[in-house]
Amino acid sequence: MPEQIWVVGGGLAGTEAAWQIANSGRRVVLYEMRPVRNTPAHTSDLLAELVCSNSLKANYLENASGLLKEEMRRLDSLIIKVADETRVPAGGALAVDRGEFARRITALINNHSQIQVVREEVTSIPLGQPAIIASGPLTSAALSEWLKQLFGEEYFYFYDAVAPIVTGESLDYSKVFLASRYGKGEAEYLNCPLNEMKYHEFWENLVSAETHQSHVGEVEQHFFEGCMPIEVLARRGKDTLRYGPLKPVGLLDPITGKRPYAVIQLRAENKEKTLYNLVGFQTNLRWGEQARVFRQLPGLEAAEFVRYGVMHRNTFINTPQLLLPSLQWKGAENLFFAGQLIGVEGYVESAAAGLVAGKNIVRWKEGKRPLIFPEETAIGALLSHIISAEIRQFQPMNINFGLFPPLKRRNTSKFERNREISARALAIMADFLSNERN
């Protein structure tokens, strides 16, 4: 029997990697420890379960996340294909029906003739075994310890928080309105407008609310800026939220005809619109405090919480020191890494790393040179950044246009520059793939 390739972790990166390997004709063993060993964030044993938001962010080419998705479509990404098939209205974003998304990916992986799914915890990789480790930010203690021994150094770490979800039927629709910023997309966000007095009341309650103390004293807390707990963000200043998750720009309250002082946005979690996510409300408040503080918001007075926000520890490796641009470990060419474990932050970014690792481990087995995507592409810009970042200051990174080489022509608007960067990226990607196939 031909040698099987291991993929450790059944999240977005792991399932994407396994799919790419299997579609090349090679056998894959995909290890997922749930439900044998669960995590603080997952609620099911489904593969590719989304544990934070149900949004994969922007879906248009003037946004770097939208460009990354389009590149992945052209590379036959499983994650983006299923996301497109299970999408729910979310303005200019690609949001999915959370349950249907995970169920469909689980079925596709389970039914693939080249993939064997094994439900057990992997605590080490046998010497010489070709493998991709995509165990994610909640890598088990045993595997973490093996990796620390393997690398001879400690992990970096940070804390991540997820937002609460409420039922649609518990909302007061007389106090909220449907709209997307600047009228873009399907206008499917529910917006809770706040006047100045209500906003300051909310701010006072938020910054004085009690948080969970379970992690305090364990280690110094480090939060990733892109997923900051709302109460931590609020403590930076009274107006911080109004320039962040509660910004009112691009929205008009139909009752007053004016822009609100601040706005809380709710995004549908499923096609039926029975569940809504409080956008940007990642939090570590105690559950009782979440109910007390958030029910003081207009439209949420009787909100029924089906999931409260929780905070969990995320870990990631020192990628600039440890990995090659192919996502291989410098210490052994048979070992690849992908997903949030390597310091990419976000659903799509994690899947993109899994896609690259999956394709590259196959090319390594076939004696071909790895795919190193040009820095002008979204995939190339992201991976180039995490591979070449300053080792002592390495932090997780989302895709953004700041990672791309600048355009030669700079006297254009931001919108036009972004569009030109995307056009350049897709043209270069097409040439790159054409050359690799020849």
* CATH number of the domain within which 80 lies: 3.50.50.60
Closest by Cα among 137, 146, 163, 153 to 54 = 163
Together in a domain, 261 and 148: no
- Mean pLDDT taken over the chain: 91
Q: Who wins on pLDDT, 320 or 162? A: 320
**In the block, residue with structure tokens 């210490």:** 331
Is the per-residue pLDDT at 215 higher than 80?
no
Is the per-residue pLDDT at 423 higher than 70?
yes
Which distant-in-sequence residues (6+ apart) come within 8 Å of 181 by Cβ?
A: 91, 249, 250, 251
For residue 346, what are its two tokens?
């976000």
Domain boundary among 284, 309, 334: 309
Domain boundary among 250, 279, 309: 309
Q: pLDDT value at position 272? A: 80
Is the per-residue pLDDT at 197 higher than 90?
yes
Q: What is the DSSP string of 284-304?
A: -B-HHHHHHHHTTSTT-TTPP
Domain boundary among 288, 309, 330: 309
Q: pLDDT value at position 324? A: 97
Number of domains in the chain: 2
Overall pTM surpassing 0.95 (yes/no): no
Is the per-residue pLDDT at 217 higher than 60?
no
Q: pLDDT value at position 393? A: 65
Closest by Cα among 41, 8, 9, 74 to 379 = 74
Together in a domain, 16 and 138: yes
For residue 53, what are its two tokens?
């938001």
| pLDDT tens figures, 351-365 | 999 999 999 999 999
Together in a domain, 204 and 272: yes
Together in a domain, 23 and 112: yes
Q: pLDDT value at position 36? A: 87
Is the per-residue pLDDT at 23 higher than 90?
yes
Cα separation, 167 vs 268, in Å, equals 10
CA 438 to chain centroid, in Å, comes to: 34
Query: How many helices (H) and strands (E) are present in the chain, helices listed first?
Result: 12, 17
Is the per-residue pLDDT at 390 higher than 80?
no
Is the per-residue pLDDT at 382 higher than 60?
yes
Q: pLDDT value at position 2? A: 65
Confidence band for 221, pLDDT divided at 50, 70 and 90: low
User: Which of the residue ranges 75-84, 161-170, 235-244 would you say has the lowest mean pLDDT?
Assistant: 161-170
Is the per-residue pLDDT at 345 higher than 70?
yes
The Cα-based distances of 18 to 5, 15, 239, 360, 370 in angstroms read 9, 5, 45, 12, 17
Closest by Cα among 57, 81, 53 to 398 = 57
User: Which of the residue ranges 76-80, 220-224, 238-242, 244-248 would you say has the lowest mean pLDDT?
Assistant: 220-224
Q: pLDDT value at position 1? A: 53
Q: pLDDT value at position 285? A: 94
Q: Who wins on pLDDT, 272 or 128? A: 128
Is the per-residue pLDDT at 62 higher than 50?
yes
The Cα-based distances of 7 to 28, 235, 357, 385 in angstroms read 7, 41, 10, 24
Q: pLDDT value at position 77? A: 98
Q: pLDDT value at position 213? A: 64
Q: What are phi and psi of 431, to 5 degrees?
A: -65, -45
Confidence band for 391, pLDDT divided at 50, 70 and 90: low
Is the per-residue pLDDT at 209 higher than 80?
yes
User: Which of the residue ranges 123-137, 292-306, 390-404 would you say has the lowest mean pLDDT?
Assistant: 390-404
- Assess whether the previous peptide bond of 35 is cis (omega < 30° from 0): yes
Cα separation, 85 vs 8, in Å, equals 26
* CATH number of the domain within which 235 lies: 2.40.30.260
User: Which of the residue ranges 17-26, 31-40, 181-190 would you say has the lowest mean pLDDT?
Assistant: 181-190
Strands 5-8 and 131-133: parallel
Together in a domain, 47 and 122: yes
Together in a domain, 432 and 384: yes
Q: pLDDT value at position 219? A: 38
Together in a domain, 9 and 146: yes
Q: pLDDT value at position 65? A: 96
Together in a domain, 153 and 11: yes
Together in a domain, 226 and 363: no
Cα separation, 424 vs 408, in Å, equals 11
Q: Who wins on pLDDT, 324 or 393? A: 324
Together in a domain, 11 and 56: yes
Together in a domain, 271 and 329: no
User: Domain span at residue 109?
Assistant: 5-157+314-437
Q: Of all residues in the chain, what percent carry a pLDDT higher than 90?
A: 72
Confidence band for 111, pLDDT divided at 50, 70 and 90: very high
Together in a domain, 112 and 232: no
Q: pLDDT value at position 397? A: 87
